[in-house]
Amino acid sequence: MPRKNKGKNKNRKSKGFDASPRKQGRDEVTGLFVEVNGEKLYSDRTYDLLNSQAGKVFGFADGAEEITEGGGSFIELELSSDAIAMTIHSRGIKWKGRPAEEDAATSKSTTRWALLGNFEFSKNGALNSGAVRESANWSYFTWNNRVGEYSSVDKGAPIQEEGIELFGAWREHERVFDYLADYGDNLIEGDPKQNFYNFESSKYFENGWWDNPFATNLI
């Protein structure tokens, strides 16, 4: 998540991915959605995160200090009764609080959360609540020709939450695995990422998933 600091906001409306439903044969638009402060985010659609209520909730809406031409931040949800995935991809953005030498033009980050459990939807398709039994997240980011990534799986007794609050459930679980690569320079010994793939939720993180994060129909 971007960190906030004081300073002039150079944010402007982003350009990038089409926020319309996926074409038939690529992803199925289910009609399921999550409501965030009155805004509906439908499953299998890509939305502009900088200009949405979800961006405000997750701290992105006012977090951009500089956006290059063609840059922006985008979000997609995939919803079902037993699994939920949320992917956020940002590119060409320098976030507030980042080092002065960081170049917005080379900045790119992709984060995905996968939640496993039981999820309940209203008759009109709104996500009401759910019980998360396992969650995973993985972030991959580059800037100034550096690469970094971190990932974790959280597993424990099911945690009951409502609506958008489900995406914070992972913070309440006992973390059973954590992997951190700091700028590509300080990898921990062995092959810790292989441990990640021992968990059920890892199936939503195929090899190189960050290269084209919205291309695959996960759920």
Q: Residue ranges of the chain with pLDDT lower than 50? A: 1-27, 182-189
Is 4 contained in some domain?
no
Residue 13 lies in a domain: no
What is the number of structural domains in the chain? Answer: 1
Residue 119 confidence (pLDDT):
93
Residue 155 in domain? yes
pLDDT at site 179: 67
Report whether 214 contacts 87 (CB < 8 A).
yes
Any domain includes 25: no
Q: Considering the entire predicted model, what is its pTM?
A: 0.78
Q: Tell me whether residue 219 is in a domain.
A: no
Q: State how far the Cα of 97 lies from the Cα of 16, in Å rounded to an integer.
A: 24
Predicted pLDDT of residue 16 = 38
Measured distance CA(211)–CA(219) in Å, rounded: 19
| Residue 190 vs residues 9, 21, 179, 194, 195: alpha-carbon distances, Å | 42, 42, 11, 9, 10
19 located within any domain: no
What one-character DSSP code corresponds to residue 171?
G
Residue 20 lies in a domain: no
Domain assignment present for 21:
no
CA distance 58 to 15: 20
Structure tokens at 72: 């922006």
Spatial separation of the C-alpha atoms in residues 78 and 32, rounded to whole Å: 9
Which residue range is the domain that position 61 belongs to? 33-211
